[in-house]
Amino acid sequence: MRFANLNLFVAWFLIPETLIMGWLAAVGRVVLELCGLATTEEGVPGRLVGAILLFAVIFFVNKVRGSLPPEGDPQGSSYRFGHKLVLLGNVLAVGLFLFPFTFQLVDSKLLLMLISRFTVAFGYLAVGCWAIGFSFLYQSSQPVRA
């Protein structure tokens, strides 16, 4: 698979972003307030700063370690399928990640509620795709037993 390392990098960025989204927004808000800027709770600036801080941490770990787990074996039988599941999880999580930035553009409350429910479901589906995809990637690196 092309861009396998990028796929895993994005997954490792989106996993904490999906699971602890509110905490990252709170950390971003604290950083902004320490810099002297007044922010609103659950606001976009706090979310952006939290995402940038998370990106910096994942980038640092990737540079220090050299790669992000699971590495997998490209010749393994479940390598491509595992990456496809991780990619599906990434696509679903991007929908969840972008929703707080764009929900102000929706005028209808009913449509907003519907989109909100779908994006929450995307988060649950993304976590399942990552878990199964990482399992297949790990399995591809294991030696074949006869």
- Tell me if residue 72 falls in helix, strand or coil: coil
pLDDT in tens, 9-30: 999 999 999 999 989 999 999 9
Domain boundaries, the chain: 4-140
According to the model, what pLDDT value does residue 67 have? 86
| % of the chain with per-residue pLDDT over 70 | 99
Distance CA 55, CA 48 (A): 10
Cis geometry, peptide bond prior to residue 70 (ω within 30 degrees of 0):
yes
User: Who has greater pLDDT, 142 or 37?
Assistant: 37
User: Who has greater pLDDT, 54 or 43?
Assistant: 54
**Which residues neighbour 119 within 8 Å (Cβ) at sequence distance 6 or greater?**
95, 96, 99
pLDDT in tens, 84-109: 999 999 999 999 999 988 888 999 99
